[in-house]
Chain A
Amino acid sequence: MADSAWVPDLATSVAATRDAPRHTAVVRVTHWITALCFFALLVSGVEIVISHPRFYWGETGNILTPSLFDLPIPSSRSTVPTGYAYVLSDQNGWSRYLHFQAAWVLVLTGLLYVVSSVLTAHFRKDLIPVGTDLSWRFKPPAEGDAWSYNVLQRLTYLFVIFVLFPLVIWTGLAMSPAVASAIPAIVTVFGGQQSARTIHFFVSVFLVLFLLVHIAMVCIAGFRNRTRAMITGRIGTYKEHL
C-alpha cells in the first residue's frame, strides 16, 4: 500500500498511508544539511564576490580589461573601480575556507541523497512526473496535496537536483587551477576560467531564486505543517490543525 502515496488527491490513499512518513529520514536529514550548507555557501560566496564584483567572458579579465557587466555594489578591494567612495572590509580568508568546507559537505550529502533516492525509488515515485492526475495548474493545496507534488514542483526539483547543483559544482571546480591542470576539459568546455566564474554566479542566482520561491510556496501551503513534515516526517491532520 505504501506505493499509493504518490497518487495525489486521493483521500483514500492518504488515509491508508498516514503511518508512513511524508519524507523519509534520508530526505529529511539531507534536506536540512543541504539548507545549512547552502546558507554558508551563499554568505561566503557573497563575501568572495564583493572582492571583485566584475564579470568577464573567456579565459581572463581584470580591472584593466573591459568587463561583461559589473554588479552595482561596493567592493572589499580599493583597486576595483565601483563608484563608491568607501571600501568594505576584506573577509575572504574565512569566507574561502568556509565556502570550500561547506561545498564538500554539500557534495557528500548530495551523493548520499542521490544514491539513496535511486535505491528507494524516491525519484521515480515522488519526482518524475508520471500519472494522469498530475496537473500543471496552481491551485490552493487540498489536504491530499500535502502527500505529493504537482508537475511544476516535480520538474523544478529535478531541475535543481540534476541541472543547477551539478552545474554550480562543475563551474566551481572549473575555476580551480589545480583541477584544471588535471582535467583541462572541465574549464575549456565553458570557454575559459572567467566564463566558468560568470556561469557560477548566474547558477547561484538561479539557486537563490529557487530558494525564495520554495520558501514562499511552503508559506502558502502551510508553513507549520510543511516544515513539521520535513523535520519529523509527519503531517498534522486537520483535527490537530484546528
Chain B
Amino acid sequence: MTSVSRRKWITGGLTATAGAAGLAVAARLANRYGLIPPDYGSLYGAGATLTYASQRLLTRHSMAREFPRSLISKDPFPNGDPPRDEGFRRLEAAGFADWRLSVEGMVARPASFSLADLKSYPQRSQITHLACEEGWSFIAEWIGVPLSHVLDLAGILPQAKYVVYFSVQRDWWDSVDMADALHPQTLITYGMNGADLPVGHGGPIRVRVPRQLGYKSIKHVSRLLVTDSLKEYWPESSYSWYAGI
C-alpha cells in the first residue's frame, strides 16, 4: 500500500465517520424539534421526511391563504356520500342536536361536547382552499371553533404528540401533529358559506386542516384522541401521512 492510498484511506475513513456522526446528530436534533414524520421508516420515508422537515421549518408560523368572498366557489364538489345508516339518519333528522364530539387520550379532563357547546365557543370563519390530492379544488367559507380551543378545554398532557380524529364512518380517521392541531386555522368546522355544514361536505362536524390536502380534512367527526404514538391508529390507506406536499 503506497502512502498516497493510505492517506486516502485515512481521510476517507475520517470523512465517513464524521458523516455518520453528523447524520446521527442531525437525526437526534430533527427528532427533538419534531421534524420526523411517523412514516419515516417506509420505502418512501426519505422523501417523506425531507418534505415534512423542510415544510415544518418553513411553515412553523405560516397561515393558509385566505381569499376574498368573491372567490368562493359556486359549485363546491362534495366528494363521496354521507353515511346512510339508521343512526346517522336519526341524528340528522333531529338537526344533530344529539351529536357528540368526545376528547380522550392524553388529556387532563376527557370531555364530550354537543354541537351547541361547540357553537358557543369563540367562532372563527375563514375562506380557504380545499385541494384534493387528485387535483381538483374549491374555495369555501368554513365556520367553526379552532381545534386548539377544544384541546385547551380538555387540557393536553405534555407528552402528547398527535391528535387523531375519527369519523363515524367505518375505518375512517386521520391524524395531525401538534403543530397543525394547535394551528389557529385548524378548525372543528360546523358551518360552510354562512349556513350549517351540509352532510355532503362532512356535516355536522368536519375537521379542516387548510395547510394540508383534502384527505386530512375528515368528515362527520365524533371523536378526538390525543396520543404520543400512531402505531394503533395508522390509516388503512397507503397515502403519505403528511399532506402539505
Contact = CB atoms under 8 A, between A and B. Distances in A.
Q: Do A and B bind?
A: yes
Contacts of B211: 177-178, 181
Interface residues on A, range: 35 or more
Interface stretch (A7-15, A16-24, A96-104, A109-117): A96-104
Interface stretch (A47-55, A161-169, A210-218, A226-234): A47-55
A100 B240 contact: yes
B236 to A, nearest CB: 10
A79 B81 CA distance: 11
A103 B58 CA distance: 18
Given A60-B139, A62-B77, A52 B134 contact: yes
A69 to B, nearest CB: 13
B234 interface: no
B138 A197 contact: no
Given A177-B129, A178-B59, A51 B138 contact: no
Interface stretch (B13-21, B47-55, B161-169, B188-196): B47-55
A60 B73 contact: yes
Contacts of B239: 92-93, 96
B237 A63 contact: no
A179 B244 contact: yes
A47 B66 CA distance: 30
Contacts of B244: 176-179
A193 interface: yes
Contact of B75 (A64, A94, A187, A194): A64
A183 B64 CA distance: 10
A64 B50 CA distance: 35
B212 interface: yes
Contacts of A59: 67, 71, 129, 137, 139
Interface string A103-139: 1110000000000000000000000000000000000
Contact of A179 (B47, B58, B75, B132): B58
A103 B47 contact: yes
B2 interface: no
A194 B137 contact: yes
A85 interface: no
B43 interface: yes
Contact of A98 (B44, B51, B137, B139): B44
B133 interface: yes
Contacts, number: 132
Contacts of B238: 93-94, 97
A184 interface: yes
Contacts of A179: 55, 58-59, 244-245
B44 A182 contact: no
A65 interface: yes
A184 B50 contact: no
A78 to B, nearest CB: 11
A41 to B, nearest CB: 12
A51 B215 CA distance: 14
A204 B38 CA distance: 31
Interface in B130-179: 131-139
A28 interface: no
A64 B48 CA distance: 32
Nearest to B42: A97
B139 A178 contact: no
Interface string B47-89: 1101100010011001111010001010111010000000000
B30 interface: no
A184 B76 CA distance: 23
A94 B48 CA distance: 12
Contacts of B62: 178, 181-182
Given A60-B129, A61-B136, A97 B210 contact: no
Which 7 pairs from chain A and chain B are nearest by CB? A101-B47, A178-B244, A93-B238, A64-B75, A97-B44, A52-B135, A62-B136
Given A62-B138, A97-B238, A179-B244, 15 more contacts: A59-B137, A60-B129, A61-B136, A62-B73, A98-B44, A100-B48, A175-B245, A176-B55, A177-B65, A177-B213, A178-B55, A178-B58, A179-B59, A181-B64, A181-B65
Interface of A: 48-49, 51-52, 54, 59-65, 77, 79, 92-94, 96-98, 100-105, 175-184, 187, 193-194, 197
Interface of B: 42-44, 46-48, 50-51, 55, 58-59, 62-65, 67, 71, 73, 75-77, 79, 129, 131-139, 210-213, 237-240, 244-245
